[in-house]
Amino acid sequence: MEYCCTGFRNMLACAGERGNAVVVWVDSGGELRFLHQSRGVAFEDESKLKPAEMDVVINISAEVGMRYCPTCGRLLEKLVVEHRDFYSNLAKEHEKYLASMPKF
């Protein structure tokens, strides 16, 4: 089983959608990493936004690194070791959701 729990599977399935999700990415060292992403606008809807002058900065999305599943607490590194190909493929799918993500 590629997922540690149903909650983690559901959060991965929500990648790119408005709300909270988990995304997979590859860091500059080639390691697979997990990010908790919160999006105010779905990825597919970003192109519908119209530029407007504002006195405030609005984040379309925000990410924070994760080491443990937020639902069951499993160390995510173990999932990567057990299912590297699955998560490598998922990272390729998730690249578009992190287009502006710096490589650390």
Query: Over the stretch 62-83, which tens digit does the pLDDT of each residue have?
Result: 999 999 999 999 999 999 999 9
Instruction: Give residue limits of the domains in the chain.
Output: 6-48+55-98
Q: Which residue has the higher pLDDT, 14 or 50?
A: 14
Output the CA–CA distances (angstroms, integers) from residue 41 to 14, 24, 58, 75, in the order listed: 12, 19, 11, 29
pTM of the entire predicted model: 0.85
Alpha carbon distance 38, 61 (integer Å):
6
List, for residues 8-38, the tens digit of each pLDDT value.
Answer: 999 999 999 999 999 999 999 999 999 999 9
